[in-house]
């Protein structure tokens, strides 16, 4: 849930609870437009983002931070980042993003970022066509892209 972190500034707030509902920890991040999490065998990922980045933090189940990653790639003057879909399988978290032009709202440079949970290795595939996308979703381990 978004909370006020500083005067006129919002951030994402994650609260960790044990099975009886008691709070055992929390984590605050900068982004509030996209907030989510994925569970893995040995821990979990929380992510949050705004129009300029997506932050991914990985925790063990003992609430120790394993690593932190920032996803952002400026493409020419297409400086607004948009998260179209997110998904996780057994080993990876996937984030399908696109850059938007701040004045024309035109889309360009779609990329699929993937983070291996155990190692924190970050990869990307950016040769996705066509360049004019209006949406995407991930269903049964496949990415479906909507074009005009």
Please list the pLDDT of the chain residue by residue as tens digits (148 residues): 444 555 555 667 788 888 898 888 888 777 677 888 899 999 999 998 888 888 999 999 999 999 999 988 778 888 888 888 888 988 999 898 888 888 998 888 888 899 999 999 999 888 666 555 666 677 776 777 776 6
Question: Of 78, 96, 114, 90, which is closest to residue 34 (Cα–Cα)?
Answer: 96
Q: Which residues of 104-118 are buried (b: 16+ CB within 10 A; e: fewer)?
A: eeebebbbbbbbebe
pTM exceeding 0.85: no
**Looking at residue 2, what is its pLDDT?**
47
What's the token pair of residue 5?
Answer: 């972190």
């Amino acid at each position: 849930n978004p909370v006020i972190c500083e005067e006129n500034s919002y951030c994402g707030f994650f609260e960790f609870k044990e099975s009886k509902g008691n709070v055992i920890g929390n984590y605050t991040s900068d982004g509030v437009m996209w907030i989510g999490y994925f569970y893995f065998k040995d821990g979990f990922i929380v992510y949050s983002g705004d129009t300029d980045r997506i932050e991914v933090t990985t925790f063990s189940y003992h609430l120790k931070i394993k690593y932190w990653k920032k996803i952002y790639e400026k493409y020419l003057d297409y400086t607004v980042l948009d998260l179209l879909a997110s998904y996780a399988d057994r080993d990876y978290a996937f984030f399908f993003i696109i850059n938007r032009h701040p004045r024309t709202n035109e889309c360009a440079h779609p990329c699929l970022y993937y983070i291996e949970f155990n190692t924190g290795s970050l990869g990307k595939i950016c040769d996705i066509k066509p360049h004019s996308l209006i949406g995407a979703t991930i269903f049964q381990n496949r990415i479906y892209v909507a074009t005009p």
